[in-house]
């Protein structure tokens, strides 16, 4: 008898039920065995980079039509299509008691997978309305819930909860059971994971009010405050859930760095073994970079009673004492009005060795003394050598001037750390035996107020280095103070300054030539002109040269003139001489203007009011920083040493930056940045060094509650996410190319 006749005549109804059951079991077996890595399937669009196709290591499914394939204009190894505009999904990642599902909840028939898009319209079936979250969550996309069938049997392979990542009793699922909002399991009502959470938009559980299709993977619920934890404020429905398996990375067991000064540890500047082996220290060799190999993987501890930093602009005038507990600086500078302790704060009166009447008065004095210096119009980018606590740079911000404050480590008890805690740009470096990590002809003005650099040492090498990084027509301001009258070495310089200016400030202004005429009339070619082919913009671990750097020429062999006035120079850098570079620059600028406006500011749930110190880890032409120019923040633009050198153009725009190798630690104190941004850097750097070491460095320099924003391939995101989760970071994935992490206060 034909099967259809049996069903039509309803002689054997139990056969129909048995057939459905067998089909269901077969589908479940095929589903769970075909993807051992992750119980959540998601679509990852192919990313073309330099003519090759990068694919995610995670299982993928076909997606609906994607209409937006705008490539990134950066020339830094990526032509990655941007997120699509029209993806209409039917189905859900959710599941619960459904054996064909990846998440919790009571969903019986959700087998379709959403793809990343700008319009995810999910039409799911039965009880679960589109979520991949756990419990009876009707519209929650986070990972978690009471799902017992995610591909593991009684094993602690949980990607978001369970006994493997924290507290809780869930073993083998993608979320913690009865976890009230915590991604690590347990009964915490604050952050991240599965359970019966009725209020948290990013957690799993019985949450009936979440429309944000965003994955939260791992968090430290005790250490993320309401502002950083409440990521449900975003109205974006274009995000996807994803679970990472612990099998994707070796288990990470973290240890604290345990020595008295570990809280301020800077690996490349605190390498005591290398410093002990130095043959000489007379040229500040012990303050230069000496990176350990292999780099240490211990985590720097937090100072006792560490607090979230005071926000800008209040931080310019006061910071928490417990965050930078260095009372010796107060004692050392008590007569100079730099800083004083007031209760639980350090207070900065705005004075200093050179600023007896305050920094604002000093800045006005400079402009009155030498009118060609017009702050914020013609003079935009400044280097302050021997900056103290960076009050000079802090007050120049009021005049639309950005200042890189520079000083060696521990010369005056962590003065650079004070500067960064205040929200003022600063970096650790010294003019010793090596070039500064800046390009030639970059700064509009260099300032030294009792900076104690011996400019005439070694035949004038320090002064020639200053000349190298000062742009043609740029100014060098040297302030000799009355203190120098007691210093035999500087007495002659002080007398010279006093002869030039009889005020109590003793100011000398030098200007770099804008033509070769003065060099041609020299009686002796000493020091000689540098060989540009050998030395131009070569400054990473390069020795100081005793030669005069040549002036930059355009294609007509004419010295490149002064940049346009601010803010026009931001969009029209004069350093661009080739049409192809001009086109690449314009594409880069337009891309970042659009993506920052539409995604970074509106779509990533970042509380920008808490962001002051920002680093773009591979800045290219500085489009990311330029797109944020109206925000009350500053961006340290980093050009990796193996990337295309766009740093001269970046300085020409009126921005600032530095060269760096991300296989080494950055020259800054721990906990000094609020947000780190990386666009396809980690894929590149992982080809040269261990990505775990890069993540450890990111964790070192980012403040608790600070943000990491990574735009990269899913293959790279899948590599770094388990490492970040092991550090108890909160993670979210957007559009399968943007990973946003929040660092917590957790330390092992």
φ and ψ of 473, to 5 deg: 85, 0
Domains of the chain: total? 2
The more confidently predicted of residues 543 and 578 is: 543
Q: What is the bridge-based pairing of β-strands 470-479 and 507-511?
A: antiparallel
What pLDDT band is residue 648 in, cutting at 50, 70 and 90?
Answer: very high
What pLDDT band is residue 13 in, cutting at 50, 70 and 90?
Answer: low
Question: Which structural domain, as residue segments, surrounds residue 363?
Answer: 354-535
- Out of 83-87, 289-293, 493-497, pick the least confident: 83-87
E-assigned strand segments in 361-518: 381-385, 402-407, 426-428, 443-449, 470-479, 507-511
Note the pLDDT tens digit of each residue in 137-190: 433 333 333 333 333 334 333 333 333 333 334 333 333 333 333 333 333 333
Mean pLDDT, rounded, of the chain: 73
Ranges 199-213, 314-328, 589-603, most confident: 589-603
Q: Does residue 61 carry a pLDDT above 80?
A: no
| Other CB atoms within 10 A of residue 416 CB | 29
pLDDT of residue 479: 84
Q: How far apart are CA 492 and CA 496, in angstroms?
A: 6
Note the pLDDT tens digit of each residue in 721-738: 999 999 999 999 999 999
Residues 6+ apart with CB under 8 A from 673: 420, 613, 614, 615, 636, 701, 702, 703, 706
Selection from 241, 237, 243, 242 nearest residue 123 by Cα: 237
Q: Omega into 514 within 30° of 0, i.e. cis?
A: no
Residue 679 lies in a domain: no
Quick one: what percent of the chain has pLDDT higher than 90?
48
Note the pLDDT tens digit of each residue in 339-383: 888 999 999 887 555 676 788 889 999 999 899 999 999 999 999
Residue 365 lies in a domain: yes
pLDDT of residue 144: 35
The more confidently predicted of residues 539 and 520 is: 539
CATH number of domain containing 361: 3.40.50.150
Q: Region 455-484: what's the mean pLDDT?
A: 87
What pLDDT band is residue 388 in, cutting at 50, 70 and 90?
Answer: confident
Answer for the pair 624, 635: CB distance below 8 angstroms, yes or no: yes
Q: Does residue 536 carry a pLDDT above 90?
A: no
| Other CB atoms within 10 A of residue 344 CB | 11
Q: Region 668-679: what's the mean pLDDT?
A: 98
What pLDDT band is residue 293 in, cutting at 50, 70 and 90?
Answer: very high
pLDDT of residue 79: 40
Answer for the pair 550, 529: CB distance below 8 angstroms, yes or no: yes
Answer for the pair 33, 25: CB distance below 8 angstroms, yes or no: no
Residue 661 lies in a domain: no
Q: Does residue 97 carry a pLDDT above 80?
A: no
What pLDDT band is residue 488 in, cutting at 50, 70 and 90?
Answer: low
Q: How far apart are CA 262 and CA 272, in angstroms?
A: 13
Q: How far apart are CA 356 and CA 350, in angstroms?
A: 9
Ranges 240-249, 255-264, 568-577, most confident: 255-264
Residue 128 lies in a domain: no
Q: Region 251-256: what's the mean pLDDT?
A: 87
pLDDT of residue 696: 98
Q: Region 278-304: what's the mean pLDDT?
A: 94
pLDDT of residue 475: 96
Q: Does residue 433 carry a pLDDT above 50?
A: yes
Q: Output the 3-class SS for 353-386.
A: CCCCCCHHHHHHHHHHHCCCCCECCCECEEEEEC
Residues 6+ apart with CB under 8 A from 687: none
What pLDDT band is residue 571 in, cutting at 50, 70 and 90?
Answer: very high
Q: Region 87-107: what's the mean pLDDT?
A: 39
What pLDDT band is residue 86 in, cutting at 50, 70 and 90?
Answer: very low
The more confidently predicted of residues 358 and 431 is: 431
pLDDT of residue 515: 87
Cα 612–Cα 699–Cα 200 angle in degrees, nearest 5: 75
Rg over alpha carbons for the chain, rounded to the nearest Å, is 29
Residue 431 lies in a domain: yes
Residue 94 lies in a domain: no
Q: How far apart are CA 313 and CA 423, in angstroms?
A: 8
The more confidently predicted of residues 265 and 242 is: 265
pLDDT of residue 553: 83
Q: Does residue 203 carry a pLDDT above 60?
A: no
First CA to last CA distance, the chain: 70
- Out of 63-67, 73-77, 500-504, 693-697, pick the least confident: 63-67
pLDDT of residue 507: 81
What pLDDT band is residue 411 in, cutting at 50, 70 and 90?
Answer: low
What pLDDT band is residue 414 in, cutting at 50, 70 and 90?
Answer: confident
pLDDT of residue 481: 56
Q: How far apart are CA 40 and CA 241, in angstroms?
A: 7
Residue 428 lies in a domain: yes
Q: Let me know if 250 is exposed, middle or buried by CB neighbors in 10 A (0-12, 13-18, 19+).
A: exposed
Q: Region 609-621: what's the mean pLDDT?
A: 98
The more confidently predicted of residues 682 and 38 is: 682
What pLDDT band is residue 333 in, cutting at 50, 70 and 90?
Answer: low
Q: Does residue 311 carry a pLDDT above 90?
A: yes
φ and ψ of 194, to 5 deg: -90, -170
pLDDT of residue 462: 94
Quick one: what percent of the chain has pLDDT higher than 70?
61
What pLDDT band is residue 555 in, cutting at 50, 70 and 90?
Answer: confident
Q: Region 419-443: what's the mean pLDDT?
A: 96
Burial letters 380-403, b for 16+ CB under 10 A, else e = bbbbbbbbbbbbbbbbbbebebbb
pLDDT of residue 412: 58
């Amino acid at each position: 008898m034909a099967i259809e006749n049996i069903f039509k005549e309803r002689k054997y109804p139990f056969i129909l039920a048995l057939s459905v059951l067998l089909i269901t079991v077969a589908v479940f077996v095929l589903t769970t065995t075909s993807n051992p890595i992750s119980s959540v399937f998601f679509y990852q669009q192919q990313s073309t980079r330099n003519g090759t196709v990068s694919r995610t290591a995670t299982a993928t499914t076909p997606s609906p039509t994607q209409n937006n394939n705008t490539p990134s204009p950066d020339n830094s190894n990526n032509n990655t299509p941007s997120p699509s505009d029209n993806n209409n999904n039917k189905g859900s990642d959710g599941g619960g008691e459904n054996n064909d599902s990846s998440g919790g909840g009571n969903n019986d028939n959700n087998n379709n997978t959403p793809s990343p898009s700008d319009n995810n319209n999910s039409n799911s079936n039965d009880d679960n309305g589109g979520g991949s979250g756990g419990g009876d969550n009707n519209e929650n996309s986070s990972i978690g819930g009471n799902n017992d069938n995610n591909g593991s049997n009684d094993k602690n392979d949980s990607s978001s909860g369970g006994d493997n990542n924290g507290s809780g009793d869930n073993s083998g699922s993608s979320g913690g059971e009865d976890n009230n909002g915590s991604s690590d399991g347990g009964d915490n009502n604050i952050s991240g994971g599965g359970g019966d959470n009725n209020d948290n938009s990013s957690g799993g559980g019985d949450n009936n009010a979440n429309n944000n299709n965003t994955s939260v993977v791992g968090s430290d619920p005790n250490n993320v405050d309401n502002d950083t934890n409440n990521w449900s404020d975003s109205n974006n429905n274009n995000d996807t859930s994803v679970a990472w398996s612990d099998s994707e990375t070796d288990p990470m067991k973290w240890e604290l760095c345990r020595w008295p000064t570990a809280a301020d540890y800077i690996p490349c500047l605190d390498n005591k073994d290398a410093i002990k082996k130095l043959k000489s220290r007379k040229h500040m060799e012990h303050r230069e970079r000496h990176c350990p190999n292999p780099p240490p993987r211990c985590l720097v501890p937090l100072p006792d009673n560490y607090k979230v930093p005071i926000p800008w602009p209040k931080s310019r005038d006061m910071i928490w004492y417990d965050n930078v507990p260095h009372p010796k600086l107060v004692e050392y500078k008590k007569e100079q009005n730099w800083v004083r302790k007031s209760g639980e704060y350090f207070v900065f009166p705005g004075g200093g060795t050179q600023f007896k009447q305050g920094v604002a008065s000093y800045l006005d004095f400079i402009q009155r003394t030498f009118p060609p210096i017009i702050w914020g119009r013609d003079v935009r980018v400044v280097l302050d050598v021997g900056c103290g606590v960076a009050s000079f740079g802090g007050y120049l911000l009021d005049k639309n001037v950005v200042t890189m404050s520079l000083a060696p480590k521990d010369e005056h008890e962590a003065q650079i750390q004070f500067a960064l805690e205040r929200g003022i740009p600063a970096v650790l470096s010294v003019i010793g035996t090596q070039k500064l990590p800046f390009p030639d002809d970059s700064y509009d003005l260099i300032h030294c107020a009792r900076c104690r650099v011996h400019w005439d040492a070694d035949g004038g090498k320090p002064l020639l280095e200053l000349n190298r990084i000062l742009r043609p027509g740029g100014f060098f301001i040297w302030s000799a103070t009355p203190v120098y009258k007691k210093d035999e070495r500087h007495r002659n310089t002080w007398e010279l300054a006093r002869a030039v200016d009889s005020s109590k400030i003793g100011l000398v202004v030098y200007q770099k030539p804008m033509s070769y005429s003065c060099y041609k009339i020299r009686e002796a070619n000493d020091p000689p002109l540098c060989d540009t082919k050998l030395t131009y913009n070569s400054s990473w671990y390069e020795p100081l040269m005793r030669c005069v750097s040549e002036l930059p020429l355009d294609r007509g062999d004419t010295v490149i003139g002064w940049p346009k006035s601010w803010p026009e120079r931001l969009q029209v850098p004069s350093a661009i001489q080739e049409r192809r570079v001009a086109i690449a620059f314009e594409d880069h600028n337009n891309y970042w203007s659009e993506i920052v406006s539409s995604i970074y500011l509106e779509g990533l749930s970042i509380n920008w009011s808490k962001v002051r110190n920002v680093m773009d880890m591979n800045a290219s032409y500085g489009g990311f920083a330029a797109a944020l120019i109206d925000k009350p923040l500053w961006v340290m633009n980093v050009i990796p040493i193996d990337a295309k050198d766009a740093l001269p153009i970046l300085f020409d725009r009126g921005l600032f930056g530095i060269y760096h190798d991300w296989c080494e630690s950055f020259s800054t104190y721990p906990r000094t940045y609020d947000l780190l941004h990386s666009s396809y850097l980690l894929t590149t750097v992982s080809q040269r060094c261990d990505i775990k070491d890069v993540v450890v460095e990111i964790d070192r320099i980012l403040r608790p509650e600070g943000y990491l924003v990574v735009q990269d391939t899913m293959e790279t995101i899948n590599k770094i996410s388990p490492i970040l989760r092991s550090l108890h970071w909160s993670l979210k994935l957007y559009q399968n190319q943007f990973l946003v992490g929040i660092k917590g206060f957790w330390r092992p």
